[in-house]
Every structure is written in C-alpha cells, then in structure tokens.
C-alpha cells in the first residue's frame, strides 16, 4: 500500500513562497502526472515528496507514514532524473545494483534483481558498458532500471523524456506506460509536455505559480477545464478564447458576431455579465468540411489568413473580432490565404468562463 498524501504543503526559499499550501491525494498504483509551465512548482513538489527539498509547512505521507523529516533513503522511493544522473564511474550493472549494494543485500540477490531489471528493459547486452558509451535512450532505460531494481513503493519521474529526440520520446513514453503495467506501483511524474501528461496519466494535476489549478482524468481536464489557464494549457492547438458579454440569451463577442448562449450555461449567467467564450479548433469547422453537428450550432463568416495542412485535416488560422482563431477542416481542400469561408461552431462543446475570475461557469 503506497498512497501519497500532500496536505497544505508549503515551500519557501527565504521569504519567497513557491508552493502555496497544496493538497493532493494519490492512490495506490495510480499514475499521476504533475504538469505545468516552467517555474510552476511541479519539480519542487516532486523533490519534496522525494525528500530532496525540505518542506516549509504541511504534511507529506507515503503509505501510512508521515515522512516530513525523513531523509530520502528512508522513504522507500526511487527517482528518475531529467538528466538521468547515472554514476559515470560505474558500469551499467553496477549502476543498477548500487542501491542493493548500499543496502548490503547478498550478491546472489543483487544479481537476480539486476538481471530481472535488465530483462524488463532489454539492457542485457550493455551491462558491462559505462554510461558514457550509451545512447540517450539507453541511458534513459538504465535510469529506469536503477529505479525498478529496488521495488520501491513510489516511483518519481522528473521530466525523464525531455532530453530525448521526438521519436525516442514517443517510444519511451510507451515503455513507461508498459513499465507501470508490469511493476504495479504508484508513480508521480513531472512534465511540462501536455501530450505526455494526457497519454500517460491516470490523473493529471495541472499546476501554475505554486497552486494546483485542476486535478482530473485526462478527459476531464480536456473536456471540462476549470479555468482559462487549463483550457489553453491542455490540448493542442490551445483553446480559442474570445471575450464577450451576455446579452439576452446570446453571447455577444466583443467586436464580433453574436452566438446563442449554449444550453449548458442557461441559468448560470446573468444578463450583462462579462464572459470569455472558449472553443477548440475541433469544434469550429468550415461548412462542407465539418463533422455533422447534432446539437445547437452557430454560423459566421471568417477570413482564413493561413492554413497548415496536416494530411487528414487542415488547421486554419482566421481572425475573428481582431483575435486569432484556429479552426479545423476535415476532408481538406486547398485553401487560399485570405479566402472567406462560412464556419460552423458546435455550441454544445463551447465553454464559458467568467471574465474576472477566469473560472469556468459550468
């Protein structure tokens, strides 16, 4: 049993508070991803769980133990570092077995555990090499191997894929997911890449400026973002946001068209309230190249300034009410820059945020 609990955890460096009393419960065997822009406190949070940073307030518990003041070696965790942090003077085999060596386990047991990890991560042929003679992906696997050898209660990953090239990153992402299925352990994973977060996580924790903005499954945070920050951070391309005002059952986009107030927000807004209308590119499509929209929709004209063909679809960049808006075109045809098209907006998929608090009005 290794759930991880953070209660009102605060981190201060001198007078500067960088993590402001966050609360988080991570269940046993859960894969939780902390995601956010750089400087949001996600790595600091991870390092506090690891015991590499002291906490300035609150409680952290792993399993049933409060670990606030325990050194890393007494927390039964392992960690994969962004730059791998392999011991350069040891061979792969020594790197993998180091933790067991320190724990003074019998040699036979160490060999068995190391071979097992090497098997899982297909490292067998590199066992006698030093890290300097390995490629980036191999080093990454050694770092993961070193983490799994000890059978820790909790795995911590600190941006483990950010040093790999794009192709290898996708491959290692899959391997990490497979690894989680194999070793069945609680994982806390830090990344700034929302695609990694979406694909790996059981639950995503989105952080900004030392606060948790939203916690939820990947689909939850994608479909019902709690505020405009989450709306633009999760999903690619980011959600389109247009400011406007509620006017008699309609949303009047500032300097743009009026669209019917989506049903899901009826009764949740007041006349005259300043709002932000949000919708994803997938829900704004040109007529004749759109998915059939079953619920209410709005239509308006927009000039396309730029198009990016992606094969199965084309990403269109238009401008609406003086702001850049991204739309998608299915079954694409070539679009000339400056072409004026009629667009359909799927209102059932729209989001409304309060203009002042930036929070979702759902």
Partner 1 sequence: MNENLQHRIRARLLKLAHFVALFIAMAIICVPGLWVVLNSFRPTVDIMAKPPVWIPRGLNLDNYRAMFGAVGEGGVPVLQYFTNSLIISVTSTFIAILVGMAGGYAFARYRFKGKAAIFIGLMLTRAVPGVSLSLPLFIVMAKTGLIDTHMGLILVYVALNVPFTIWLIDGFFRQVPIDLAEAAEIDGCTRWQAFWKVEFPVARAGVASAGIFAFLTSWNEYALASQLTRSTFSKTMPVGLRDFTSEFTINWGGMCALAVLMIIPALILTFIVQKHLIAGLTFGGVKG
Binding site for partner 1 (CB under 8 A): 50-52, 71-73, 77-79, 81-89, 98-99, 102-103, 130-133, 136, 139, 146, 150, 163
Smaller CB separation from partner 1, 146 or 351? 146
Whole-number minimum distance, CB 156 to partner 1, in Å? 8
Pairing of strands 250-253, 258-260: antiparallel
Write the DSSP assignment of 311-353 as a string of letters: SSEEEEEEEETTEEEEEEEES-----TT-EEEEEEEGGG-EEE
Angle at 307 between CA 305 and CA 308, to 5 degrees: 150
Which residue's CB is nearer to partner 1, number 73 or number 268? 73
Q: What minimum distance in Å lies between the beta carbon of 59 and partner 1?
A: 21
Least distance CB 75 / partner 1 (angstroms) = 8
Count other C-beta atoms under 10 Å from residue 101's C-beta. Answer: 14
Q: Which is nearer to partner 1, 159 or 213 (CB)?
A: 159
**Do residues 291 and 250 make contact, with C-beta atoms less than 8 angstroms apart?**
no
Q: CB-wise, 47 or 203, nearer to partner 1?
A: 47
Nearest approach, Cβ of 23 to partner 1 (angstroms)?
25
Beta partners for residue 215, in sequence order: 205
Count of CA atoms in the C-beta half-sphere (13 A) of 29: 5
For 134-199, give the DSSP string: S-HHHHHHHHHHHHHTT--SEEEEESTTTTS-HHHHHHHHHHHHHHHHHH--EEEEEES-HHHHHH
User: Of 75 and 289, which has the nearer Cβ to partner 1?
Assistant: 75
């Amino acid at each position: 049993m290794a759930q991880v609990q953070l209660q009102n955890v605060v981190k201060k460096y001198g007078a500067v508070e960088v993590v402001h009393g966050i609360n988080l419960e991570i269940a046993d065997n859960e894969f939780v991803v902390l995601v956010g822009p750089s400087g949001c406190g996600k790595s600091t949070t991870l390092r506090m769980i690891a015991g590499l940073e002291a906490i300035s307030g609150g409680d952290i518990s792993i399993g049933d133990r409060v670990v606030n003041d325990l050194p890393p070696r007494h927390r039964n965790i392992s960690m994969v570092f962004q730059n791998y942090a392999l011991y350069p003077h040891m061979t792969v085999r020594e790197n993998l077995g180091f933790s067991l060596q320190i724990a003074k386990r019998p040699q036979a047991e160490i060999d068995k555990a190391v071979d097992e990890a090497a098997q899982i991560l297909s490292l067998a042929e590199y066992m006698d090499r030093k890290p300097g003679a390995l490629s980036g992906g191999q080093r990454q696997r050694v770092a993961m191997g070193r983490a799994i050898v000890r059978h820790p209660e909790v795995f911590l990953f600190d941006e483990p894929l950010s040093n790999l090239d794009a192709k290898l990153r996708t491959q290692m992402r899959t391997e990490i997911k497979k690894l989680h299925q194999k070793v069945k352990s609680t994982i806390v994973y830090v990344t700034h890449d929302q695609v990694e977060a979406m694909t790996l996580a059981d639950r995503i924790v989105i952080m900004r400026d030392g606060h948790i903005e939203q916690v939820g499954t990947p689909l939850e945070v994608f479909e019902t973002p709690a505020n405009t920050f989450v709306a633009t951070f999760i999903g690619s391309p980011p959600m389109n946001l247009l400011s406007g005002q509620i006017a008699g059952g309609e949303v009047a986009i500032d300097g743009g068209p009026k669209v019917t107030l989506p049903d899901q927000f009826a009764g949740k807004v007041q006349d005259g309230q300043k709002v932000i209308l949000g919708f994803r590119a997938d829900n704004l499509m040109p007529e004749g190249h759109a998915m059939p929209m079953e619920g209410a929709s709005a239509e308006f004209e927009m000039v396309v300034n730029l198009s990016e063909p992606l094969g199965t679809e084309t990403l269109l960049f238009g401008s609406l009410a003086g702001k850049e808006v991204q739309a998608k075109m299915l079954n694409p045809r070539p679009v000339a820059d400056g072409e004026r098209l009629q667009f359909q907006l799927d209102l059932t998929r729209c989001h409304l945020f309060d203009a002042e608090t930036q929070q979702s009005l759902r």
